[in-house]
Chain A
């Protein structure tokens, strides 16, 4: 406990606490710090460093620093692909929120003994690999797949329709895979929601809509923000689902980076595109953060 003890003999203004943590606090924190250093800071620094380098015909890095990869990356093709990936990710986030918020609200307000089971139902499909689930979707959506044969036998369709390998299939795949990342954080916010606040809103004359928009939404905002980030960030760079379900006709930024790293044998250029993607993430995080600051 020594580390947490208040300092003696130092003059602090009245009511202030010492902010610098003690040794024990650092020790407790150290596994996380080492983790961050090894698996976040170091790889990111490496990626950024490589993005300024060159490569030989075998793809090995040559440490000649220059800006040529960035000059090449600021071409309309890559920007367009990046914007398109951001668009798909935004669309996915919005749809996930539209489906995820009511679901999370329902689970969070359900009787306590039901909540565990309902949450479990959200999680169960995710016990299998996402690739297997994506292949399952291929079997459902393909021209001779389950959905088409069902609609054909029911007489709703005359001819099978192409659902797979379309932008619709891409968004479906993304929403399906990332929905729990929206539901879970919103659920934690909803669960903590103080009923007295909602009752107070009604007592003060607010209708259901007003109570929802003025009280419930602001109180669950941390969950919404966390959910939005958890869906938006990974869906920008996700390429396995988009190539498998979209047919690879709309290149995504994740796929393009992957190809430059592998068959393109051009890690530095892939790294430059990766660094640009990172900057997009940083901007997105900064925007949500400053939004929250303003509200507080």
Chain B
């Protein structure tokens, strides 16, 4: 009896081993922003392909970068923003993409392809783009608002919400002084310091995760926020108006890329191609109304979605926007600059 059980279980074990080695790896480990890839999109992908997807989230590009740069983590797919793609490409942390497997890449608008941070999209594919702009509660703020300078005026003291992001705040000050967003040099930082010194005491709330909350609750009546957040506000209430600052602003492109250490490259590429499908991309836009670079998906959207100025700036506006480049060790300095001014 005992021998029989032993033999049977041995056979079973071998059968299992044989099965396991014969089957292709059916896993995909995604490391992405929190609140950016809807769960039902991941479920649909799993259901269609049988791939078991596990998701881990990060709240900032740097959190992800430090893990990838340290060689840690078994991730198959990451979601870096443009300036992080730049360093990941430069320092060879990414796996080249096989464009033959990305048939849906043709859906992406050419203006978001072949960017300087990744020529020919050898390593990255745009997921969503977006911008930073001004939201005005027209019930509470009466004057004309066209620029950053109009937001940071003494009469708006205690009414302003901004992104809790030193790089962004410094970029706005650079733009209003006529510099480019990437001209983060010691000399320029010194020059914009008086501007920042005037701006920062006027600010009531710093919030990068959900700046719309303070505007919806009435604690702030004007703000500089992400386009996606602005779009939600515009949909909620007609009193909110969206303004692209006349000084210009920042255009971000969040991408999908495969780290060099990835173990399931095929599944990751399948997932990227899945995301690029018009009907899938459209669903993402419904939940997160950013600037969708997928032209075929835009054809499936309602006119109301396309008319939302915070989601879809005009071509002229986009032309004036600037993309962040990596600033390396300067990041610590601008954190210090903003902290110093806040603590005054």
Contacts and interface: CB of A to CB of B under 8 A. Distances in A.
Contacts of A262: 60, 62-63
A103 interface: no
Nearest to A57: B328
A59 B68 CA distance: 11
A222 interface: no
A143 B158 CA distance: 13
Contact of B342 (A55, A162, A250, A260): A250
B316 interface: no
B69 interface: yes
Interface in A67-93: 77, 80-81, 84
A260 B332 contact: yes
B326 interface: yes
A264 interface: yes
Interface stretch (B104-112, B190-198, B214-222, B280-288): B214-222
Interface stretch (A6-14, A42-50, A185-193, A241-249): A241-249
B101 to A, nearest CB: 29
A294 B169 CA distance: 52
Contacts of A58: 65-66, 69, 87, 91, 328
A243 B164 contact: yes
Given A262-B60, A263-B165, A165 B218 contact: no
Nearest to A259: B335
Contacts of A164: 217, 219
B183 interface: no
A265 B65 CA distance: 9
A47 to B, nearest CB: 15
Given A263-B62, A263-B331, A162 B219 contact: yes
A259 B335 CA distance: 7
Interface in B108-144: none
A145 B217 contact: yes
B219 A251 contact: no
A143 B219 contact: yes
A210 interface: no
B66 to A, nearest CB: 5
B165 to A, nearest CB: 7
A271 interface: no
Interface string B221-247: 000000000000000000000000000
B179 interface: no
Interface in B168-225: 203-207, 213-214, 216-219
Nearest to B164: A248
Nearest to B201: A249
Nearest to A255: B339
Contact of A77 (B206, B214, B340): B340
Interface of B: 60, 62-63, 65-66, 69-70, 87, 91, 158, 164-167, 203-207, 213-214, 216-219, 326, 328-329, 331-332, 335-336, 339-340, 342-343
7 contacts: A60-B66, A145-B217, A165-B205, A259-B166, A262-B62, A263-B167, A266-B335
